[in-house]
A and B are shown apart, each in its own frame.
Chain A
Amino acid sequence: MAETDVEVEPMNKIFARVMELTTIVGLVVMIVPGLISLSGENVYVDPIHTVNNWDKSAEEFWHDAKGISIHGYDWIFENLERFDCISLFGVVILALAPMLSILAAIPSAPKIYKVILGIVAAELVFAIVRPLIMAGGGH
């Protein structure tokens, strides 16, 4: 008997395919620039500043290392020419992977799962926009 004898629902198949693709893209974007950023060249946060402040809470870290307060994601997108921020963009892609997979699976899902997956997708959208709404965005 072959593995193909198992009938996997289209909802599961599409979900898996989109997640697989998004994960590969996210990992490459996170790891390659991330490794380059470890050289300390063309980075948003200087490694020396990082070492001097990584024992502080996130809020204090950014205040002391860069003189800014972080509330949102625009600091990542505004510095996409820096290797550490490109690496974080990879993390953003990875964090988007489940939502994109769910959205792709919804059209082929049974009726009740269309509703449940729609709720989960809405929750994930809320997770993304919450820091922007509740902190006014920016830095």
Chain B
Amino acid sequence: MLTEMWWFWPSVLFVFTFIIGIIAPISGVGGGVLFVPLTTAFFPFNVDFIRGTGLIMALTSSLSSAPQLTKKGLANIRIMAPIVAVSSITSIIGGIVGLWITNSFPEGKHYITIMLGIVLFIIFAVMATSKRVEFPEVERQDALSRKLGIIGAWYEPSLEKVVEYRTKNMPIAIPAFAMVGFIAGMFGLGAGWANVPVLNLIMGAPIKVATSTSMLIITVNDAAAAWVYLAKGAVLPVIVIPSVIGITIGARIGAKLAVRAKPKFVRYLVMGIMLMSAILDIWKGLSGLGYVPGF
């Protein structure tokens, strides 16, 4: 019965990612951050394929938006290049470690599921506590940022003028991005939830530059990690295609609804969902290891 209706789960996946696509732009949360934990909790796919799909989804959506943002001056290679020189390597290592754990230990997938739940708690904490500064002031650049000439400008329609910016604290930011790259590669998450606060609050990039340059960083980090998953056969079109199409269509509708919706309410709703999936993932992992009853 189940095998005859093999199209059932891809169809449900399409509807599911379509809904995630609508919610994500309204809440300001990346789709991958919702996709990976919720799919791990509720779908029958192994976490290897879910992470592979999450990575391709994040790669696809960042590749689709990064070129336009770069042409406008919002995403800047001067900021991205020194960061990804470090984080793309940690992203590859994350992918290798993640697949090694699930493939080398009989209980590997349960450990990964528990770790994913813990990472979700961290993401929740970051989202709940971090603030966004629209135009941070950078009085003094660090020596490295000065040497790299990290400056930029974009036309801001709300101010009707060109806004110039520069960044600071590159030596502090690089280790942070290295860690984020590792987590993104290991769990197949887009890493906007971490990239944006580091770029905005630590490096002093204006919020629009931070969100746009984060997209640019995700393209390189996720492309690097994608090879790990491709080479291990952890990317299945039957899971990837409905997910990518669902989230893409949903995101277009979500972007339009975002103008009218109450973002604060949706953001709290999404944070609640994340908290719930964190608990479910940890529970699922622990029940797989036999410590708690299954659900």
Distance to closest chain B CB from A121 (angstroms): 10
Indicate whether A57 sits within 8 Å of B48 (C-beta atoms), given known contacts A6-B162, A50-B6, A87-B237: yes
Which listed segment binds A: B68-76, B252-260, B275-283? B68-76
Q: Would you call A78 an interface residue if the criterion is a C-beta within 8 Å of the partner chain's C-beta atoms?
A: no
Q: How far is the CA of A59 from the CA of B236 in the complex (A)?
A: 13
Contact status B147-A112, CB under 8 Å: yes
Contact status B241-A131, CB under 8 Å: no
Interface magnitude class on chain B: 35 or more
Query: In A118-139, which residues have CB < 8 Å from any B CB?
Result: 119-120, 123-124, 126-128, 130-132, 135
Contact status B46-A57, CB under 8 Å: yes
Indicate whether A97 sits within 8 Å of B223 (C-beta atoms), given known contacts A112-B147, A113-B78: yes
Contact status B6-A48, CB under 8 Å: yes
Q: Would you call B287 an interface residue if the criterion is a C-beta within 8 Å of the partner chain's C-beta atoms?
A: no
Choose one: B64, B82, B103; the contact of A57 (CB below 8 Å): B103
Contact status B162-A1, CB under 8 Å: yes
Q: How far is the CA of A38 from the CA of B246 in the complex (A)?
A: 14
Q: How far is the CA of A3 from the CA of B153 in the complex (A)?
A: 11
Query: In B222-260, which residues have CB < 8 Å from any A CB?
Result: 223-228, 230-242, 244-245
A contact residues around B149 at 8 Å (CB): 110, 112
Choose one: A58, A127, A132; the contact of B224 (CB below 8 Å): A127
Contact status B231-A73, CB under 8 Å: yes
Contact status B85-A38, CB under 8 Å: no
Interface magnitude class on chain A: 35 or more
B contact residues around A94 at 8 Å (CB): 56, 59-60, 63, 223, 226
Partner-A contacts on B (CB < 8 A): 2-3, 6-7, 9-10, 44-46, 48-49, 52, 56, 59-60, 63-64, 66-68, 70-73, 75-78, 81-82, 84-85, 88-89, 92, 99, 102-103, 108-109, 147-149, 153-155, 160-162, 219-220, 223-228, 230-242, 244-245
Partner-B contacts on A (CB < 8 A): 1-3, 5-9, 11-13, 15-17, 19-20, 23, 26-27, 30-31, 34-35, 37-38, 40, 45, 47-48, 50-52, 54-59, 61-62, 70-73, 75-76, 84, 87-88, 91-92, 94-99, 102, 105, 109-110, 112-113, 116-117, 119-120, 123-124, 126-128, 130-132, 135
User: Sorted from nearest, which 5 A-B pairs have the closest CB atoms?
Assistant: A131-B231, A70-B233, A34-B241, A20-B67, A16-B70
